[in-house]
Structure 1
Amino acid sequence: MKTIMNCLARVDNILAFVLKAAVTALGLFVSFAMVVGIVFRALLDVQVFGLEELVLMAAMWVYMLGAALASRERTHLSADFFQAFSDSEALHDTMRLIATIVSLVMAGFFVSWSYSLFSWGFEKGQVTPVFGIPQYLSQGSLLVASVLLLLYVLRDFIHDISKLFRKAETQ
């Protein structure tokens, strides 16, 4: 069991490295492309056709992969207001578990919806107007992010359940 956990941790670290590299590279591309577009349009009075569709596609991937990284590190937005009202660690753990269960259900819906959108885009064969890039490439960012979200929320669920069981055993 420990070997499986070590292997999963190694895969997770590799995935996190790839995600961080992709977010960094795509973020730099979006920034550079925006500057190029502004300079060409404002200073040189030249239109750069198709730049917006490339920026939009890259921005979607940056946003979705960033959301997956936030989910991995549990740094996404949360409203943990029970901590302000109570010092009970048991209440905190229970509320965290409830929030994780709700997140798990929602993540399942997100996977279903994003798969429907991706498969619909694949079937329709929509493409961008300038470069003819298939729309499902940007829609795929939603599917990838929702699958990663589901996996990380599932990991959090297992962690929260095991934490509650460990505390119950020690009492």
Structure 2
Amino acid sequence: MENFVRNVKSSLLWRWLINLQKAILVLTSVFVVLIMCTAVLLRYVFKSDLFGIEEIVVIAAFWLYLVGSSYGVYEKSHVKADIIPQLLPLKAQAFLSVLVRLTMSILCVVFSWWAVDMISYSIEWMPRTTGLRIPIFISQTSILVGYVLMSFYSIIYFLEDLGNFTSLYRKDQGGEQPWR
């Protein structure tokens, strides 16, 4: 299991996904800032408006937020409450980490499945934005992409934590009781 995790984390796919996410984050961030600056300039300097600008910003913001969330899972920098685990012994921390990663993996996979259903429905019925008539599935696809990436990273980190936990448990076979 440790070799599998190590191979995945050193693979071309892993590096490519990270670079793709970084590129999407930079491009969408710059795009949102530029479009908002343009909107402010047009509205308050030229007393004009750019029709449908809010719809475009929302789509870019969806991609920024969901890809940013998946990148946070990759970095293990997402919001979490970790005071209680710090008070536990090392083996209990490892076990709790396995439980948390398993729960997160399951939830991300379920949300990915729901995102597939949502996009399928949107493609079937093809709802569109009110102004520019942009298909809704374009922004909804970011939800699927984000949760699939979160699922992938969560499963890899679950396997990594499971390997760490089992190695701690194996080290303890010498005499000390597990969970102390």
TM-score by length of 2: 0.87
Moved over 6 A (4+): none
Q: CA–CA distance in 1 between the matches of 2:86 and 2:121?
A: 45
Retained in 1: the 8 A contact 2:69–2:78? yes
Aligned pairs, number: 169
Question: Residue 60 of structure 1 contacts residue 141 of structure 1 at CA under 8 Å; is this kept in 2?
Answer: yes
Change (3 A) 1:7 1:157: closer
Contact 2:73 2:153 in 1 (8 A): yes
8 Å contact kept, 2:86–2:93: no
Q: CA deviation at 1:168?
A: 2.0
- Once residues 7 and 166 of structure 1 are traced to their aligned partners in structure 2, the CA distance between those partners, rounded to angstroms, is 19
Q: How far apart are the structure 1 equivalents of 2:11 and 2:162?
A: 19
- Displacement of 1:128 in angstroms is 2.0
Equivalences for residues 4-83 of structure 1 within 5 A: 5=7, 9-83=11-85
Per the alignment, residue 131 of structure 1 pairs with: 132
Identity %: 22
Code of the aligned partner of 1:10: L
* Residue 130 (structure 1) shift: 2.9
* TM-score, with length taken from structure 1: 0.92
Distance, in Å, in 2 between the alignment partners of 1:140 and 1:56 is: 13
User: Whose relative contact order is higher, 1 or 2, with alpha carbons under 8 Å and at least 6 apart?
Assistant: 2
Aligned in 2, Cα 1:115/1:79: closer, same or farther, shift over 3 Å? same
Question: Whole-Å Cα distance in 1 between the matches of residues 166 and 120 of structure 2?
Answer: 40
**Paired position in structure 2 for 1:91:** 92
The aligned amino acid for 1:114 is A
Is 1:170 the counterpart of 2:171? The answer is: yes
Q: Deviations over 1:66-88 (max 9, x none)?
A: 001011111101111223433x1
Distance (Å, rounded) in 1 between the aligned partners of 2:86 and 2:72? 23
